[in-house]
Amino acid sequence: MTNSINLGAGEPRLEHAFDMRVQVAKPIEIGRRRIVPILGGSFEGSGLRATVLTGGADYQIIQPDGFTEADARYVIETERAERVYVVNRGMRHGPPEAIAKLNAGETVDPALIYFRTVPTFETSAPDLLWLTRAIFIGIGERYPGEVAIRFYRLL
């Protein structure tokens, strides 16, 4: 038995795919659960221009130490009226004082916060099926009233 793995396709690489900015409402708090309504936004890159539709939300669980598990679900609609359902799961954590400020709706230096996501896409639009056939990761930043995520495709 050998201890090595043959990576015929080579080492994985990341390629910038698109950027998203969404406006969010004040969180609804239920104990450790937070539901953050998505009010709309933009999604652009890789020849794709879309609007984030109103009606989605980020369903979060906040651990006692501030560690946040995120599960955002929303729909984007392209300029050609093609729709894509997005499930974007991830995590956010950082120094306790920075997380406390972030959760209170204050501005925090994004460099202090580890905010990563893994989206999956569902669509029946033939020109967008490539979204369903790749793995993406996102690097996010949370601001008062807005979330920005830069997505990369794993090659």
| pLDDT tens digits, one per residue of 99-140 | 989 888 899 999 999 999 999 999 999 999 999 999 999 999
Q: Token pair for residue 127? A: 């020109």
Residues with Cβ within 8 Å of residue 109, at least 6 apart in sequence: 98
- Mean pLDDT across the chain: 94
pTM score of the predicted model = 0.91
Confirm whether 81 is domain-assigned. yes
Structural domain of residue 75, as residue ranges?
24-154
Residues with Cβ within 8 Å of residue 26, at least 6 apart in sequence: 105
Confirm whether 69 is domain-assigned. yes
Which of 22, 47, 51, 38 lies closest to 131 in space, CA to CA? 47
> Considering its fold, how many domains does the chain have in total?
1
Confirm whether 85 is domain-assigned. yes
- For 45-65, b/e burial (b = at least 16 CB within 10 A) is eeebebebeeebbbebebeee
Instruction: Output the domain CATH number for residue 72.
Output: 2.40.160.20
Confirm whether 130 is domain-assigned. yes
Question: How far are the Cα atoms of 1, 9, 96, 127 from residue 118, in angstroms, in the given order?
Answer: 34, 22, 24, 22
Report the amino acid identity of residue 18.
F
Tell me what pLDDT residue 1 has. 55
Confirm whether 29 is domain-assigned. yes
pLDDT, tens digit, 9 for 90 and up, residues 95-108: 999 998 988 889 99
* Dihedral sign (CA 65, 21, 78, 134): negative
